[in-house]
Every structure is written in structure tokens, then in C-alpha cells.
Amino acid sequence: MSSSLWRDCLQRLQSELSVTEFNTWIKPLQVRETDKEMALFAPNPFFVDWIRQQYLDRITEFVSAKDNSRNLHISLHVGHADIASQGASNEANSDNRSSAAAIAQTSQAVSPANHRNFNKPTYNAHSGSSAFPQNNLNTKFTFNNFVEGKSNQLARAAAEQVAENPGVSYNPLLIYGGVGLGKTHLMHSVGNLILKDKPDSKIVYLHSERFMANMVKALQNNSMDAFKNYYRSVDALLIDDIQFFANKGRTQEEFFHTFNNLIEKNKQVIITCDRYPKEIEGLEERLKSRFGWGLTVAIEPPDLETRVAILMSKANHSNVELPHEVAFFIAKRIRSNVRELEGALKRVIANAQFTGRAITLDFVKDALKDLIAAQDKLISIDNIQKTVASYYKIKVSDLLSKRRSRSITRPRQMAMSLAKKLTNHSLPEIGDAFGGRDHTTVLHACRKVEELKNESVDIEEDYSNLLRTLST
């Protein structure tokens, strides 16, 4: 079935994409539209992945601009629109869940607001009588395919310990770091390993947004007891992106009690967060302090060697031979996070498959030219150093020197903190660029600047001035 909204969307995409791209990826999509949802169907999981990475933002943007009154959810599925209709009617029939469950396994609801968060596959959801998910673990995320490097070593080691001794080693385990760095991957790896050792364990993974949605549903349906019992009866609760709880008082209250209950019973809790939890505004102090009871570990952006290793490993898993020089080229250019690195690799592989061309350096330069151009426009550490030095009327060589007088250390800390904020370089890379300093020095500088900004209007003003100069 094809709605007029979808037809408009197709027209727009056709005008924006090349003929091959449109015919290969967009034309085969089937659509089923209801009042609340636009469900898109693609022939296989790879196709779904590709649509999500390359086109979903654009489709979502277009649909919400064109029809913002309905706030349509856009979901992606493997399969055919007509089979899904059968699935949907099965879903309504509580005695016949198999088709609905099969569809649920490959479905990821996406709305303009929650698109990033629900992007993650949750293939392992069991069907069941409960209104709540049974485990939602993605079996693709394991320790075996998690590439270790300096940036994630500690987090990985802690996660492995927790998987071996759930509820005992570190409870809670809190993993924090920027987007796409492997926090969710590690969390699922723990869940999968616990299940391998103890298949009867009740492990639940969910995004914090889902926790809140389930709570709201339970409040509406007068089923809070079932909600509480469900989450308090698990052996391990893995909850992603806790920063989402900021300023959501009722959800925090509920989570606080669930958390206490589980920890008291030595049930494992694992939490991820996109920043150091103490820095989340709108998160209650009692939660922040409890999160610190166990172990808090950071994941940093991977360094060059780790990025190369990740690319080689991902290519290997897709049975693709990736020349080392190509991996090196991509890893050098794409530094932001692993998700983008993986996206670039997928794009290279798909392009090579379409065109039948070999993956050479020239081929990759061409296939990724827009990504590379965007990357080249990013602010460089060099530029930050020059701007900060000139602002404080010192020399760049002072910033790189060992001098420790305040007139030099403050600007140096400011420059490091701006480098962390405005570039995709990892802490070790920033440290290197500042006269070979350790990554902990950079971390300290970032925290110090945050602290000083709160204490001193002058520093706050310097920071804003520099940020403005660098961002224009």
C-alpha cells in the first residue's frame, strides 16, 4: 500500500538522490501507514541497517515537516507490508502471538524525537505474556567482537568481571562516554555472557526512555504493582542512557526504588550515560551518589590503532578483505566515534558490491568524499592553540611547554578543554598535541575549566569568547 504522504516523500527523495541510489534503496521499500505510524519494510536486515544509517533522518525530517499534526512514528522492519498486517492482527489476539513476536523482533520504532535512542537492534526479545520486555539482548554484541584499546580497556575489564560475578564485583557498574563509543555493546556483552553461563537468569536490557514509557503506561493502566514487581524481580537490569532521566522527577523516584531494591538483593545493575553522571543537571543527588557506590568507568574515543583494528575486525566479520592501507586511511579520517567508523565501512562495502569494483585507496577516497570533506572542515587542535595563545597574548610554544606558572597553565587548560569540546580527538591525542602530556592531564584540564567557569565570571567570559571565535 502506498499513501500520499509516502508518495510525496518518494518524490522528494528521488529529486535528492542519484537514480541508482533511489532505485536500489528507496524504491524497494514497502509502506504501511496508520494514524499513528508509518511502517517501512525492507527485504533483509542489512537493507534495514542501511536505510537507518543513510536515509532515516531524511525521511523522518520530511515526514514530520509535512505532517506534524499526527507526530507519526516511523518504524523499520524486515519483511513485507502485507505480511505485517497479518502480524498486527495477530498481535491483537493474545492467544496467537508468534507472528507478532516475529515482527517485534525485527522492529524498531522511531519517532522524530526518539529516533537515535531506539535505533539499536533488540533482536533477542522473547515473546511472552508480560507487557514488559523479557530481555531485549542483542546477541550480536559480545566480548568476542569488542575490540579492545587504551580508550576502552578499563570499561571492558570491569564489564567482564561483572559478567563473571554478577551482583558481586561492581554494583552498580556505570559506563559513561560520548555517543557511539561502545557502551551499549559492552552492556549487551555482559548480559549475553551471564545468560551463556546461566541460561535461566532473568536479564533485562532497556533504554531509559523505554523505562519511563513503561512506567507511564503502568500509571495509566493502574498496573504500577506489576511494573514494580517486574523490574524488581530481575537478576540483572541493564539500563541505557540514564541522562534521559534528567528533570523527570517521577521516573527518577521510581527508578530510585527499583535500584535500591535490586542492589539490596545483590542483583546486578549496569547503567550507561553520555557524560560523567555528576555533571547531569536535573538528576537528583541521591541517585548520583548511589551511582557512585559501585564502579564508574569512562570510555573514550578510540585512538588510531584501535580504529584500524575495529575496521579490520568488522570487515573480517562481513567476510570482506580490507587492505590495511585502506583501513588506515578511513581510520585517520573518521575519528569521531565507532558508529561513524562502522557507517563509513558499510558504505564502502555496499558501494563495492554495487559497482563490482575492488576496495582500493582510490575507490574509498571517492566513495567517502563527502564524509571526508565534512571532516576536513572540523576545527583543528592547531587552530585552537593559535587562537587561545593569541587571546591570552602568549606563544603557542608556551602552551606546549613544561612551564607551570598560572599565566600559562590556565590558557593551556582552556585550550585542552576547547579541543575536547570542539574536535573529535581522543584524550590521548589531545595530550600528545600539547607537548606529549598524559590523557589524565587533559581530563583534569576539562574538569578544572568546568569548575572555574562556575566560580569566576571572567573565566566564563573568556571561554564564551573563545568558543564564539572558534565556532564562526
Ligand X SMILES: Nc1ncnc2c1ncn2[C@@H]1O[C@H](COP(=O)(O)OP(=O)(O)OP(=O)(O)O)[C@@H](O)[C@H]1O
Residue 339 lies near ligand X (rule: CB under 6 A): yes
At 292, give phi and psi (nearest 5°). -80, -5
Nearer to ligand X (CB atom), residue 87 or residue 182: 182
Neighbours of 105 (CB within 10 A): 16
Shortest distance in whole angstroms from residue 141 CB to ligand X: 6
Nearer to ligand X (CB atom), residue 175 or residue 445: 175
Contacts of 168 (CB under 8 A, 6+ apart): 266
Shortest distance in whole angstroms from residue 273 CB to ligand X: 9
Residue 171 lies near ligand X (rule: CB under 6 A): no
| Site stretch for ligand X (CB under 6 A), options 36-44, 96-104, 174-182, 248-256 | 174-182
Shortest distance in whole angstroms from residue 185 CB to ligand X: 4
Nearer to ligand X (CB atom), residue 119 or residue 261: 119
Neighbours of 299 (CB within 10 A): 23
Nearer to ligand X (CB atom), residue 185 or residue 412: 185
What is the rounded CA–CA span in Å between residue 23 and residue 29? 10
Nearer to ligand X (CB atom), residue 122 or residue 214: 122
Neighbours of 58 (CB within 10 A): 14
Nearer to ligand X (CB atom), residue 158 or residue 415: 158
Residue 334 lies near ligand X (rule: CB under 6 A): no
Nearer to ligand X (CB atom), residue 9 or residue 193: 193
According to CB under 6 A, which residues from 101 to 120 bind ligand X? 120
Query: Half-sphere exposure (CA, 13 Å, Cβ side) for 268?
Result: 29
Residue 179 lies near ligand X (rule: CB under 6 A): yes
Residue 338 lies near ligand X (rule: CB under 6 A): yes
Pairing mode of beta strands 173-176, 108-110: unpaired
Nearer to ligand X (CB atom), residue 161 or residue 401: 161
Pairing mode of beta strands 108-110, 268-273: unpaired
Pairing mode of beta strands 73-78, 108-110: antiparallel
According to CB under 6 A, which residues from 180 to 199 bind ligand X? 180-185
Which segments of 149-294 are extended strands (E)? Answer: 173-176, 203-207, 236-240, 268-273
Residue 146 lies near ligand X (rule: CB under 6 A): yes
When CB distances to ligand X are compared, the closest residue is: 182
Shortest distance in whole angstroms from residue 214 CB to ligand X: 19
Residue 428 lies near ligand X (rule: CB under 6 A): no
Contact (Cβ atoms closer than 8 angstroms) between residue 348 and residue 368: yes
Shortest distance in whole angstroms from residue 109 CB to ligand X: 16
Residue 251 lies near ligand X (rule: CB under 6 A): no
Identify the bridge partners of residue 403 per DSSP, sorted by sequence position.
none
Contacts of 203 (CB under 8 A, 6+ apart): 135, 137, 191, 194, 195, 234, 235, 236, 238
Shortest distance in whole angstroms from residue 67 CB to ligand X: 27
Side-by-side strand order, sheet with 37-42 = 30-33, 37-42, 73-78, 108-110
Q: Tell whether 180 is in a known binding site.
A: yes
Nearer to ligand X (CB atom), residue 146 or residue 392: 146
C-alpha cell at 314: 568488522
Helix (H, G, I), strand (E, B) or coil at 212: helix
Distance of CA 84 to the CA centre of its chain: 28
| Site stretch for ligand X (CB under 6 A), options 213-221, 228-236, 336-344, 418-426 | 336-344
At 319, give phi and psi (nearest 5°). 55, 35
C-alpha cell at 192: 549475553
Distance of CA 202 to the CA centre of its chain: 24
| Site stretch for ligand X (CB under 6 A), options 146-154, 166-174, 209-217, 244-252 | 146-154
Residue 152 lies near ligand X (rule: CB under 6 A): yes
According to CB under 6 A, which residues from 348 to 377 bind ligand X? none
Nearer to ligand X (CB atom), residue 270 or residue 442: 270
Select the residue interacting with ligand X from 21, 342, 398, 432 (CB under 6 A).
342
As to burial, measured by CB atoms within 10 angstroms (0-12 exposed, 13-18 middle, 19+ buried), residue 285 is exposed
Shortest distance in whole angstroms from residue 110 CB to ligand X: 14
Contact (Cβ atoms closer than 8 angstroms) between residue 205 and residue 211: no
Helix (H, G, I), strand (E, B) or coil at 75: strand
| Site stretch for ligand X (CB under 6 A), options 47-55, 177-185, 444-452, 454-462 | 177-185
Angle at 404 (CA atoms; ends 398, 407), nearest 5 degrees: 65
Q: Is 268 left (phi over 0), alpha (psi -120 to 50) or beta?
A: beta
Count of residues engaged in binding ligand X, rule: CB under 6 A: 19
Q: Tell whether 128 is in a known binding site.
A: no
Residue 274 lies near ligand X (rule: CB under 6 A): yes
Shortest distance in whole angstroms from residue 274 CB to ligand X: 5
Q: Residues comprising the binding site for ATP?
A: 180, 182-184
* Chain contacts with ligand X (rule: CB under 6 A): 120, 141, 145-147, 152, 179-185, 241, 274, 310, 338-339, 342
Q: Which residues are annotated as a binding site?
A: 180, 182-184
